């Protein structure tokens, strides 16, 4: 029996939704940084709502992943490549959960709730107010965002190496077209 070398449709959909949302959310944070105050507040409101949505999608993705194991990596891959790929993916999941939680905590320490596009309001976590800690968390959040961008660059370089040097059709594992090599 030949095992599928492709991710499931649900895993693909969630991967690309989360990928687009992360890039949009990074651009929103950058836009807020360079905008006048009233625009910055609007950009940040969208940044926070998108960030919480990413958290929700990631939890669905992780639950799905527990029940539907990813396809095995190509047999000929070197041990270091398998280890690097696994490390980057685990780091992604840690950041996709931790960044929104740290952002939410930073808001909570300022006594702020998080409005999700007027649909509902996420309460502040019951942590009490602490301005200094909120600022520290925002700094950690910003550094985490930078690490995330570096990982995205590494992730894309890895994909390009597989596609054009190894020619193993790696990208097709995450798309419903093309032929990944076993």
Binding site for ligand HEM (CB under 6 A): 15, 18-19, 22-23, 25-26, 29, 33, 47-48, 51-52, 54, 65, 70, 89, 92-93, 96, 99-100, 103-104, 106-107, 114, 138, 141-142, 145, 148, 152, 155-156, 159, 170-171, 173-174
Task: Give the integer Cα–Cα distance in Å for 166 and 160.
Answer: 9
Shortest distance (Å) from residue 50 CB to ligand HEM: 7
Angle between helices 9-33 and 131-160 (to 10 degrees): 130
Length reported for the chain: 182
Query: Which residue number, 47 or 131, has a Cβ lying nearer to ligand HEM?
Result: 47
Query: Which residue number, 121 or 128, has a Cβ lying nearer to ligand HEM?
Result: 121
CA-to-CA separations, 155 to 62, 74, 136, 158, 161, in angstroms, rounded: 19, 17, 28, 5, 10
Query: Which residue number, 23 or 60, has a Cβ lying nearer to ligand HEM?
Result: 23
Q: Which residue has the tokens 């990208």?
A: 171
């Amino acid at each position: 029996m030949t095992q599928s070398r492709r991710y499931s449709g649900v895993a693909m959909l969630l991967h690309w939704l989360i990928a687009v949302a992360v890039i949009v959310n990074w651009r929103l944070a950058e836009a807020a940084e360079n905008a006048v105050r009233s625009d910055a507040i609007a950009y940040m409101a969208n940044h926070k709502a998108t960030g919480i949505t990413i958290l929700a999608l990631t939890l669905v993705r992780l639950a799905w992943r527990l029940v539907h194991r990813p396809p095995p990596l190509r047999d000929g891959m070197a041990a270091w490549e398998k280890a690097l790929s696994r490390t980057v993916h685990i780091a992604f999941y840690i950041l996709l959960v931790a960044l929104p939680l740290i952002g939410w905590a930073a808001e909570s320490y300022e006594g702020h709730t998080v409005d999700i596009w007027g649909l509902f309001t996420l309460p502040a976590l019951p942590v009490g107010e602490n301005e200094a800690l909120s600022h520290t968390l925002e700094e950690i959040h910003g550094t985490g965002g930078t690490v995330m961008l570096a990982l995205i660059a590494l992730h894309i370089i890895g994909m390009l190496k597989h596609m054009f040097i190894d020619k193993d059709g790696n990208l097709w594992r995450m798309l419903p077209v093309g032929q990944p090599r076993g």
